[in-house]
Structure 1
Amino acid sequence: MSGFSLFNNLIRSTGKINFGSKVNQILNYVPKNDTRRYLSSKVVKDSKITQVERIRNIGISAHIDSGKTTLTERLLFYSGRIEEMHEVKGKDQVGATMDSMELERQRGITIQSAATYIDWKNNNINIIDTPGHVDFTIEVERALRVLDGAVLVLCAVGGVQSQTMTVNRQMKRNNVPFIAFINKLDRLGANHNRVAGQLKQKLGQNCALVQFPMGLESKFKGIVDVIDEKAIYFDGKFGETIREEPVPEEYIPELKKKKQDLIESLSNIDEELGEMFLDEKIPTNDQIKAAIRRNVIKRTFTPIFVGSALKNKGVQKLLDGIVQYLPNPSEIENFALDESSGETQRVLINPERSDKNKFLGLAFKLEAGRYGQLTYIRVYQGHIKKDDIAYNVRTGKKHKISRLVRMHANHMEDIEDAYAGDIIALFGIDCSTGDTFVTEKDFKLSMESMFVPDPVVSLSIKPADSNMNDNFSKGINRFMKEDPTFKVIYDSDSKELIAYGMGELHLDIYATRLEREYNCKCILGKPKVAFRETLLEAFEFDYLHKKQSGGQGQFGKVIGTLEPLPQEKYQSIEFIDETTGTNVPDQFIPGIKRGFYNSLEKGVLTGNKVTGVLFRLTDGANHCTDSTDLAFQLAAEGAMKQAFSEGKWQIIEPIMFVEVTAPEEFQSVVVGNINKRNGIIINSETNMGWFNLQCEVALNDMFGYSSEIRSLTQGKGEFAMEFLKYLPARQEVVSKLIDAGSTDKNQTKKKKKN
């Protein structure tokens, strides 16, 4: 603990850790053993496509281990972007192109989203490969914020899984059109029809197969194009030679049925095809394709493609589908916020690839690279070129664009300029995720903010060697800047640094990166759950703050009600001003609101944050000389203290959606273990000797489950979980928390006396 005495008073108000003046100078420093250094490549002098219709910005998203990165590797290979394909786990000591971090190659998972671009049939496709693990959900969230379309990859065996549902919600929240790709049809237990059915039932998608496989598992030999009615084979060592032939007789009945299903699904939502269907007219293939494109862009239809990325089948046809059905930047409506008039107005952005429009770009991802901070920018409007001056709309700071690059995983390719629809990267720009950039200072538009989920797990963290404090602070500050869901805050009560994240894996990855990239081994405490406190019953307050000690005094009175929000809003905090007349002047309302929010940092029961409450201000009183903004702020804080001491409060805890997959022989022991953890089973399915269990379990009861599921299923079971909602904690949990809180308070008092 002595090595951590210097942590006192070293936390800035911004939440960043300040271990000394050197930190600010070397915040972007990356040591020599950094595993994600960026490699320079040739200058791309003229790779610009002038027609916006030939641009696609897509993401590859799915549940963990559905084959996203393997699929992206094939997209790069078939488009000629790379000369050799490598596998995800890096058995050949190379690894997949998009997993450029050594840790990703060793663990066989994607940790950070990576950007690249390819050319396919004279179309430029910008691709972002995203992680599948729920702990890195922010990487998916900010990628979808700037993309125009996506490919939802589904495992032909696992089907729609927990993270698939999360990605589907993220796409819905960001209004991103997508097409589906059923992967791994060569695996034992593959069933494309079952997965298509799950898309309809579990995700509520209006979808239909536009392809289906010829054979499954080891007999998978090719695909049938439902629209063009052709059998497609992928010959050659890597499936690079496409051979089209008439559909074999054995698949004709299935082809007719699938085409009829496709036309019916489209006719239900498309006016043009609907009229033809009623008139008993058969649409042409071009009319079907046009209807698919219209409804994909409107998010009312999802075409399903099939294949096996690992076995090099179906990928080229998926590329054709990306170009054919996903929208270009001009077909998506993007809005910016204009606050120049004093009132916030939504303004439609012009996506034309021209330098006639004013430049507008959004910084959606930050990384510390070898040459300084690397800022990923989506260009929404206008034109930017090397040596331009860009202004950060939020801070007003100006930056010279000394280097403009396009990313290919960890390779950089210098470019001279970029237009609307491009995804690029800049160096040496000091900004935060979500900042908007313009090239004209008076152009005061800003892009709408992106959704950032709250962390649900915390643990104490400190360097094993106090001599490594400098490296520790560099790494922590860098990671917090790159990842908005990772936070490290100094707790004045426990005198410890507390790391907050989306899960155990999330925090473990950052601890590993601190050791590898900054030579700073860390000691981690036990994971803690982000419990919250909320009001049980409405409480009416009437509080007067009055102070007179010579000179101008302080006077502020607030009257109103503190109300609990419904369970679905347990993560929200709301403030409503219902005052009328002049008892509480308008200029003091922000002070009251500030006092309310300041009081929510620590609750009365366990000291956890307070959420799920509504502060309804109905009346008050003021004094002509003694009323100030501070006086009303203190009045609001006093009203909250009154509510804490006299109101009824409860503790709420995060509930996780848990999905377990294992062989059927272990079903009873797995179900028994979930019941032991007080879980509620929602659904259970069996397929080809395997069972899939979906349940809701409190996060506090899920620690250690990863090792337990392996021992229960002889290493054959796996699970995934994601945050679902907050619910009131069980009484035994509440008692333990309150007892632990009382013990911590007593220990803190003893330390202060000593």
Structure 2
Amino acid sequence: MTPRLFSHLVKQYRWIPFRTFAVKRESKHYPLEKIRNIGISAHIDSGKTTLSERVLFYSGRIQAMHEVKGKDSVGATMDSMDLERERGITIQSAATYVEWKGHNINIIDTPGHVDFTVEVERSLRVLDGAILVVCSVGGVQSQTITVNRQLNRYRVPFLTFINKLDRMNANPSRAMDQLKSKLGHNAAFVQIPMGLEGNFKGIIDLIERKAFYFNGPNGEEVCVEEIPEQYKQETENRRRDLIETISGADEQLGEMFLHEEIPNEQQIHDAIRRCVITRKFNPIFVGSALKNKGVQPLLDYVTRYLPNPAEVENVALDELGKEKKTIKLDPTRSFTAPFVGFAFKIEAGGRNTSASQLTYVRVYQGGVKRGDTLYNIRTLKRTRVSKLVRMHSNKAEEIDEAYAGDICAFYGLDCATGDTFVNDKAYQISMESIFVPDPVISMSIKCSSSTDVEKFAAALARFTREDPTFRIVYDEDNKESIAMGMGELQLDIYAQRIQREYGVKIEMGKPKVSFRESLVNPIKFDYLHKKQSGGAGQFARVIGILEPLSPDKFATVEFSDETSGTNVPSQFIPAIKKGLIRAYEKGSLSGNKISGVKFRLQDGDNHIVDSNELAFMLAADGAIKQTQESGQWQIIEPVMLVEINAPCEFQSAVHSLVIKRFGIVSGIEPREDWFTMLAEIPLNDMFGFSTDIRSHTQGKGEFSMEYVRYCPVRADMSNKIIQQYQQSLDQSQQQQQQQRRKN
């Protein structure tokens, strides 16, 4: 390449080192009612990314479709990472946008594996609607339940798309029944299929009473015809069920139903939209993304039923007022209202690049232009918007401005996931942050060569910054770094990324489970911290009860200030909480964290001169140690909900395998030649389960798992953990004594 050609390319395409070329595009501004922010979520291998690929193709965003595990080695557009294309799974959420019949649809494709559940969390946190994809063969699976819980947490309106109707044993009716029974959805079909499996020809719209066929090489030609005679009776029966279900949720349609009035098509559409936005009804659509059937009508209903940004109430917390209060944000697309943006995802840059951090931001109020000055509410630091882009998978497309309702990305913002940005320092409000689950598994991690330590540290700093569930801690006892995450797959993925993207060969130790310690019975404490050594001393006293929480709260800790009067001044309460955080870090039984307890502060004492924050912090720490000496404690461990799918001929072998691993079978659902088994198994007994399940089912069985709660460990395991901890303490003491002798 000649210098002149290179200079021309640099001017025309603004180069971003760790991504592809950033192309300058004319940003088209849509009114709020024409904007939809949606996510596509589901259980692993339900067809989310395949559906996203079809949406991009039919909207004209891409010119050719590729499969998740395509033979052409290209892979799906939204799976831009090499590891995603090799493994055929989505690892990182990816954003894009399409235009569909005058509407701008911002789309985030999310992972399905439980190890990357934080990607779903932060995506749903900023979206106004979603598409829940359900496999017509597998139905409602373990991760479907998790996604449903996340949808409920952020109150996201959604549509359900039952996919893979071309697959053998496809049964959309069973999937709908599971949506009702397992997830509690008030659901009904809006579409029904014409045939199933190899005979799947098209879909019937129950409201319009029309049959849709998808012709052409890629199903791009949508033909609307009259319903075939053999489906007319089923159409009328299903349509009646649909109207009855909506009437039970919508007041206006319910009034018509009571008066035996027949609603017209527009009235049914309006009723469904009202119920979807208020989350009172879940409309079900059908199709096969892989066979190019049912995607275009689904997009029509996304624009018709899901809310625009103005129809979703978003509030922020006032950080300046003495009394915390919420402020309703104004979604008007103008620069008159103060700018409010929420950073929900960051990418810290790649190997050997000077590229600044890429921050994905949802704009909730006002607008922002390139060159504007913003303030991070958490740090109150000032920053300038040097480059403003919209993302299409891994491609950055520069824009000049963004308004309320947009999802964009900034370069160069110094922030963390969950930070709020404003353009007026006096306008200090913050958005509700993202729920981040605690890690449940850990491994030791180190680089093989001492010459790669700097690159290794840079890689760890980058990935822990990008992913809040991936954490690195240093074990002082064993003098090693510990990588913590949500599962073996997540830690394995990051290990491979460090090797590929940074050229650092690393070594991973055996997986370790995040055991914790919890109290069995309530115990009173009365601890006095007193220190006098001339001059001002330290004096603090805390009195109260430390009690265990219910089993469903074993993973958390709580604090309750039940004091009255001035024995414990209110300004020292934060110091007591800090002392508790430090005390909870290490239990006396096994050295693991303390959780599942509630610290009830009922009384105390202070000294007018000697009491300070440090004294009360040490008093809280001492109170916990006091309860450890005299209280009854136990070790608890994470328990996983495991869903196993295998041929019926291996049911007894799989059942024996679960029992062998100290699991409890909670249900078995037979499905023709296959069965689905749900069981709760301790995470510590799940290592190597993938190998065992394949060997017990001749390679035909598969499973998925997700964390459900902490439970007390078995007595033999408890004794083993305590014994190992005592041995490590003894070894540490011996090493310290030897070191003193040498010195």
Query: Is the TM value for this pair above 0.5?
Result: yes
CA distance in 1, matches of 2:22, 2:194: 42
The alpha-carbon deviation at position 533 of structure 1 amounts to 0.4
What's the secondary structure of 2:243's corresponding residue?
Answer: helix
Comparing 634-643 with 477-486, which one deviates more in the overlay? 634-643
In structure 1, the partner of 2:375 is 391
Q: Distance in 2 between matches of 1:116 and 1:185?
A: 26
Task: State yes or no: 1:170 paired with 2:150.
Answer: yes
Instruction: Please give the residue correspondences for 1:147-226 in structure 2 after superposition, counting only pairs within 5 Å.
Output: 147-226=127-206
Does structure 2 retain, via aligned residues, the 8 Å contact 1:37–1:410?
Answer: no
1:475 correspondence with 2:473: no
1:47 corresponds to which of 19, 22, 28: 28
Partner of residue 283, structure 2 = 303
The equivalences for 1:23-172 within 5 A come to 37-49=18-30, 51-172=31-152
* Structure 1 equivalent of residue 5 of structure 2: none
Q: CA deviation at 1:37?
A: 3.6
Aligned to 1:576: 560
Aligned to 2:604: 620
Measured after TM superposition, the shift of residue 435 of structure 1 is 0.5
What does residue range 539-688 of structure 1 map to in structure 2 within 5 Å?
539-688=523-672
1:466 matched residue in structure 2: 450
2:736 and 2:70 map into 1 onto residues whose CA distance is 53
Distance 2:18 2:50 in 1: 22
Question: Which of 303, 311, 316 matches 1:336?
Answer: 316
The Cα of 1:678 is off from its aligned counterpart by 1.2
How far residue 548 of structure 1 moved from its aligned partner, in angstroms, is 1.3
Match of 1:604, as an amino acid? S
CA distance in 2, matches of 1:586, 1:85: 62
Amino acid across the alignment from 1:600: Y
**1:433 paired to 2:417:** yes
- Name the residue aligned to 2:11: none
- Partner amino acid, structure 1, of 2:570: D
| 3-state SS of paired residue (1:372) | coil
TM-score, normalised with respect to structure 2: 0.96
- In 1, Cα distance between the equivalents of 2:321 and 2:415? 25
CA distance in 1, matches of 2:632, 2:67: 57
For 1:259-298, list aligned pairs within 5 A.
259-298=239-278
Tell me the amino acid that sits aligned with residue 219 of structure 2.
G
1:671 partner amino acid? H
5+ long unaligned stretches in structure 1 = 1-34
Matched with 1:453 is: 437
* Equivalent residue letter for 1:465: S
Render the CA deviation track for 1:398-447: whole Å, top value 9, x for unaligned: 11111100000011111000000000000011110000111112110111
1:20: which partner in 2? none
SS at match of 1:202: helix
Distance (whole Å) between structure 1 residues aligned to residue 543 and residue 486 of structure 2:
38
**Inter-partner Cα distance in structure 2 for 1:742 and 1:42:** 60
Displacement, 1:390? 1.1
- 1:342-353 counterparts in 2 under 5 A? 342-353=322-333
Measured in 1, the distance between the counterparts of 2:55 and 2:624 equals 57
Shift of 1:36: 10
Map Cα deviations across residues 537-565 of structure 1 (whole Å, 9 max, x no partner): 11111111111111112111111111111
Matches within 5 A, 1:373-412: 373-412=357-396
- Deviations along 1:688-727, one digit per CA (max 9) or x if unpaired, are 2110001111111111001111111111110000000111
Distance 2:133 2:513 in 1: 31
**Cα shift at 1:45:** 2.1
Distance 1:334 1:315 in 2: 30
User: What CA distance in whole angstroms lies between the structure 1 residues aligned with 2:347 and 2:580?
Assistant: 35
Superposed displacement of residue 343, structure 1: 2.1
Amino acid at match of 2:64: E
Where 1:742 maps in the other structure, the secondary structure is helix
Give a deviation string over 1:453-504, Cα, whole Å, max 9, x none.
Answer: 0000011000111211111001000000000000011010111100000000
Aligned partners of 1:38 and 1:410 also within 8 Å:
yes
Paired amino acid for 1:414: E
CA offsets 1:152-195 (integer angstroms, 9 cap, x no match): 00111001000000000000001001000011100001011111
Runs of 4+ that moved beyond 4 A? none
CA distance in 2, matches of 1:583, 1:314: 68
RMSD (Å), alpha carbons: 1.1
Q: How far did 1:75 drift?
A: 0.1
CA separation in 2, counterparts of 1:597 and 1:395?
22
1:497-508 map, 5 Å = 497-508=481-492
Q: SS at the partner of 1:351?
A: coil
| Partner of residue 24, structure 1 | none
Question: Identity of counterpart residues, as a percentage?
Answer: 59
Give, in whole Å, the separation in 2 of the partners of 1:746 and 1:89: 53
SS in 2 for 1:727: strand
More RCO (CA 8 Å, sep 6+): 1
Asked whether the equivalents of residues 113 and 140 of structure 1 are also in contact (C-alpha less than 8 Å), the reply is: yes
Residue type of the partner of 2:478?
A: S
Q: 1:517 aligns with which of 494, 501, 511?
A: 501
Residue 41 of structure 1, CA deviation: 4.1
Q: Do the aligned residues in 2 keep the contact of 1:36 with 1:101 (CA within 8 Å)?
A: no
* Per-residue deviation, 1:372: 1.9
For residue 568 of structure 1, report the CA deviation from its aligned partner: 1.4
Contact 1:36–1:100 (8 Å) recurs in 2: no
Give the stretch that moved more between structures: 415-424 or 573-582: 573-582
**How big is each residue's C-alpha offset from its partner over 1:587-628, in whole Å with a ceiling of 9 and x where there is no partner?**
222222222221000001000000111111111122222222
Question: Equivalents in 1 of 2:528, 2:422: separation in Å?
Answer: 47
Deviates more, 1:591-600 or 1:713-722: 591-600
Equivalent AA in structure 1 for residue 24 of structure 2 = V
Shift of 1:732: 1.2
- Equivalent residue number for residue 735 of structure 1: 719
Gaps of 5+ in 2: 1-15, 739-743
Letter in 2 for 1:511: A
Matched with 1:444 is 428
Aligned residues between the structures: 719
1:744, distance to aligned residue in structure 2 (A): 1.4
Distance in 2 separating the partners of 1:752 and 1:108: 50
CA distance in 1, matches of 2:241, 2:556: 43
Per-residue CA distance 1:59-104 (angstroms, 9 max, x = gap)? 0000000000000000000000000000102421211000000010
Instruction: Specify the SS of the correspondent of 1:391.
Output: strand
Q: 2:293 aligns with which of 307, 313, 329?
A: 313
How far off is 1:342 after superposition?
2.1
Question: Structure 1 CA distance, aligned partners of 2:357 and 2:735?
Answer: 41
Q: Secondary structure at the match of 1:40?
A: coil
Q: Which amino acid aligns with 1:40?
A: F
Q: How far apart, in 2, do the equivalents of 1:298 and 1:747 lie?
A: 61
Cα distance 1:36–1:165, how it changes in 2: closer, same or farther (>3 A)? farther
State the TM-score, normalizing by the size of structure 1.
Answer: 0.94
**3-state SS of the aligned residue for 2:623?**
helix
